[in-house]
Amino acid sequence: MKEARFEQARHLGLSGRAALVVGGGEGIGRATALALAENGAAVAVLDCERERAERVALEVEARGVRALAIGADVLDEAQVRRGLGEANSAFGGLDAVIDIVGGSSWGSLLEIDEATWERDFALNLKQHWYVARAAAQGWIEAGRPGAYCAVGSISGLFSSAQHGAYGAAKAGLLALVRTAAEEWWPHGIRVNAVVPGAVRTPRIEAGWSDGSVPRPDAETLERMALPEDVAGSILFLVSDWARKVTGQFLVVDGGSTTKFPYTTS
């Protein structure tokens, strides 16, 4: 996969700031961590696999800013709070928290079992509540503003056939973003979400190779975002350029959802 690179753009107001990227060990998370570093922010990389977090932290440090690797399972609230505590202690506070974590299970609503349903909701909704709440409590206790950005999905905006639990959880995530934005704005905390369509991550490409994920047609492939495309939108939402933006969703889908659904020929 060809990787896009960001130019130095410190005018975003991120230089000297500190951010935590939850799920930062690969794909969109890695791209976001590196983009933050290239804009002068110190970055804590949290991942369920500490080795992945450590690899990305080294890449962050290579860009001349401070980095921290944290291993934690975001499905465990105690580990979430420990991870945020480590990041806050290391950097003397955080300015932004970005949660990339998510994943879908495939199958019709008639086929999916309860365990799978619960797993998808925990991964795509409940853990965001853990992370966002812990971040907000830290900012409120410290009396400092903050920016939280979640990564949603267009599956939460439309139907999500064959991955219904994922779509329902992502729809819930967008509702959570709106509610958190309204409850926390008096404390100077902004809450937003980037809503990607299909993203060409290493995990997706591996699925194409082993046949576990169907390869898209040429038009869909052209519209697919790279992880760096999503990272750029995340940076905007946590930057000074978006200082009056809260409770909003930024769709990054190559125009997929604007396409007229019927043939015009």
* pLDDT confidence bin for 221, thresholds 50/70/90: confident
Whole-number pLDDT of residue 265: 55
Whole-number pLDDT of residue 48: 97
- Alpha-carbon span 14 to 19, nearest angstrom: 9
> Is a pLDDT exceeding 60 seen at residue 121?
yes
> Is a pLDDT exceeding 80 seen at residue 237?
yes
Record the pTM. Answer: 0.89
Q: What is the DSSP string of 145-165?
A: -EEEEEE--GGGTS--TTBHH
Q: Among 130, 166, 239, 256, which one carries the catalytic annotation?
A: 166
Quick one: which of 39, 44, 237 has its CA closest to 147?
237
Whole-number pLDDT of residue 9: 47
- Do the domain assignments include residue 198? yes
Instruction: Please compute the mean of the pLDDT values over residues 152-162 and round it to a whole number.
Output: 89
- Do the domain assignments include residue 235? yes
Whole-number pLDDT of residue 12: 85
Active site residue 170: yes
- Do the domain assignments include residue 208? yes
Active site residue 153: yes
CATH number at residue 109: 3.40.50.720
Half-sphere exposure of 141 (CA within 13 A, CB side): 10
Whole-number pLDDT of residue 218: 78
Comparing 27-31, 37-41, 45-49, 162-166, the range with the smallest average pLDDT is: 162-166
pLDDT digits (tens, 9 = 90+) for 3-30: 444 444 446 889 999 999 999 999 999 9
- Do the domain assignments include residue 65? yes
Q: Among 104, 126, 160, 170, which one carries the catalytic annotation?
A: 170
Instruction: Please compute the mean of the pLDDT values over residues 23-45 and round it to a whole number.
Output: 96
The whole-chain average pLDDT of the chain stands at: 90
- The number of distinct structural domains making up the chain is 1
Quick one: which of 139, 248, 145, 143 has its CA closest to 192?
248
Q: Among 104, 153, 155, 256, which one carries the catalytic annotation?
A: 153
Q: What is the DSSP string of 42-64?
A: EEEEEESSHHHHHHHHHHHHTTT
> Is a pLDDT exceeding 60 seen at residue 80?
yes
- Do the domain assignments include residue 201? yes
Active site residue 126: no
Instruction: Give the H/E segment covering residue 236.
Output: helix 227-238
* pLDDT confidence bin for 244, thresholds 50/70/90: very high
- Do the domain assignments include residue 259? no
Dihedrals φ, ψ of 201, to 5°? -90, 165
- Do the domain assignments include residue 260? no
pLDDT digits (tens, 9 = 90+) for 184-215: 999 999 999 999 987 667 776 777 777 666 67
pLDDT digits (tens, 9 = 90+) for 53-63: 999 999 999 99
Q: Which domain holds residue 177?
A: 11-249
- Do the domain assignments include residue 145? yes
Helix (H, G, I), strand (E, B) or coil at 250: strand
* pLDDT confidence bin for 131, thresholds 50/70/90: very high
* pLDDT confidence bin for 141, thresholds 50/70/90: very high
Quick one: which of 26, 142, 169, 12 has its CA closest to 84?
142
Whole-number pLDDT of residue 127: 98
